[in-house]
Amino acid sequence: MTEQSKCSNSTCCCGGELSEQEMFRRLDKVLDEYHGKPGGLIPVLQMAQGIFSYLPEKVLKHIAGKMEKSYSEVAGVVSFYSFFSTHPRGKYLIRVCLGTACYVRGGKEILDALKKELNIDVGETTPDRLFSLEIGRCFGSCGLAPVILINDDVHRRVKPSKIGEILTRYRVGEEKQ
């Protein structure tokens, strides 16, 4: 693996964060690649979110201008799709399933326990930007209900009393890095 391929979109290889100017340079390369291509808005937004980690108004306006679209069209696409975020997300995105099976097996209680433990509400991020909390409607794991996802990790048959223990595993992992 080359040194460059080890770098993420939002950090440089020296361990520091990219400057806003460098992030916009990267975004402009993406915009140049997709300029005039039908259906290019969603891939541009996905890559922009990868670069900035979220889609602030300044970025949306930049994309709208470069793609010759109205700001309302770009913002409308962002607000329609749940995978786009206009505010910073935590390193760990916690999604609580509130589909029928999870809901009847205690999904709401799981959500309440997470809100209490993290001291945030749905759609918010902890002040240390470690955790963000969202809800989902079905993750296709009804037989494992209630389910939460933390990034790509599936936690099944979750009990409210185990929330602190689950979160501690992620917090401890941060201390080791």
Q: Mind listing the domains of the chain with CATH numbers?
A: 4-80 (no CATH), 92-176 (3.40.30.10)
pLDDT tens for the chain, 177 residues: list them. Answer: 333 333 444 433 334 578 999 999 999 999 999 988 999 999 999 999 999 989 999 999 999 999 999 999 999 999 998 778 888 889 999 999 999 999 999 999 999 999 999 999 998 999 999 999 999 888 888 999 999 999 989 999 999 999 999 999 999 877 665
| Residue 97: strand, helix, or coil | strand
- Alpha carbons 86 and 74: distance in angstroms, whole number: 12
Q: Which two tokens stand for residue 34?
A: 């997709």
